[in-house]
Amino acid sequence: MDQPNTAQATGADRTSAERDQEVAVHRELEDYYRAGKPPWDTGVTPPELVALVEGHDAPPPGRALELGCGTGTNAIYLARQGWEVVAVDLIDRAIGQAREKADAAGAAVRLLHGDATRLDDLDAPGPYDLFFDLSCYCGIPPHRRDAYAAGLTRRAAPGARLLMFGYGPEAFDDPISGVTADELRARFTGWELVDTTPGTNPVPTFWFTLRRTAGEA
């Protein structure tokens, strides 16, 4: 009987391992929302986002896309600041809660249940002036991160900003989670990492600001 060659076997193993990672992450996130209020759901908009949106050199309100919006606290904040907001989360229960919160607040936010690494499957063509990611990207399995970056790049208006909060790899006890400045520089081609500010958490965290550089693919 023919034996699969090593390269084929390795490729197949990697693909099924990658699929398993996505399923495991999805299940873990669902469990958090099913169990009640997840630990990250503080209901407080971080000062770093407030500074960007209301600070002395704040851009005029435009279109914003939030990746991994959870129950919508920051999407609602952006809408109240005059932004036209689309917000995406992988977990339908989170989006359901976000819709209830947005309705109660009278905030016009378009909330989409879907995958931030598969934006082409969603009705979110952009272009967007601002992307916001509070601790979503750092939990995405590595094999989906190029697709995340490509999806944002295709939807970025010239000069668009991405404000991202992420945990460093040291904050996790698994080998796939976490984000570094070097990774973002390498993965986000056509963007400049303009600022990296450490967070105040007891474990390594960072606020990254990237800017789409005009005219590059």
Ligand X SMILES: C[S@@+](CC[C@H](N)C(=O)[O-])C[C@H]1O[C@@H](n2cnc3c(N)ncnc32)[C@H](O)[C@@H]1O
Residue with Cβ nearer ligand X (134 or 156): 134
Residue with Cβ nearer ligand X (22 or 213): 22
Q: Report the nearest approach of ligand X to the CB of residue 57 (Å).
A: 24
Q: Report the nearest approach of ligand X to the CB of residue 9 (Å).
A: 28
Q: Report the nearest approach of ligand X to the CB of residue 160 (Å).
A: 19
Residue with Cβ nearer ligand X (98 or 160): 98
Q: Angle at Cα 42 formed by Cα 38 and Cα 44, nearest 5°?
A: 155
Cβ-defined contacts of 181-186 (< 8 Å, 24+):
181/206, 181/208, 183/145, 184/208, 184/210
For residue 101 the two structure tokens come to 């919160």
CB contact at 8 A, 157 and 127: yes
CB contact at 8 A, 198 and 147: no
Q: Rounded to 5 degrees, what are φ and ψ at 131?
A: -115, 140
b/e sequence 103-126, b meaning 16+ C-beta within 10 Å: eeeebebbbbbbbbbebeebebeb
Residue with Cβ nearer ligand X (1 or 104): 104
Residue with Cβ nearer ligand X (29 or 102): 29
Comparing every residue's Cβ against ligand X, the nearest one is: 68
Q: Report the nearest approach of ligand X to the CB of residue 105 (Å).
A: 15
Residue with Cβ nearer ligand X (91 or 156): 91
Nearest to residue 128, comparing CAs of 181, 61, 80?
61
Other CB atoms closer than 10 Å to residue 66's CB: what's the count?
A: 31
- Interacting residues with ligand X (CB under 6 A): 29, 40-41, 68-70, 73, 88-91, 94, 115-117, 134-136, 139-140
Q: Report the nearest approach of ligand X to the CB of residue 14 (Å).
A: 19
Q: Report the nearest approach of ligand X to the CB of residue 194 (Å).
A: 22
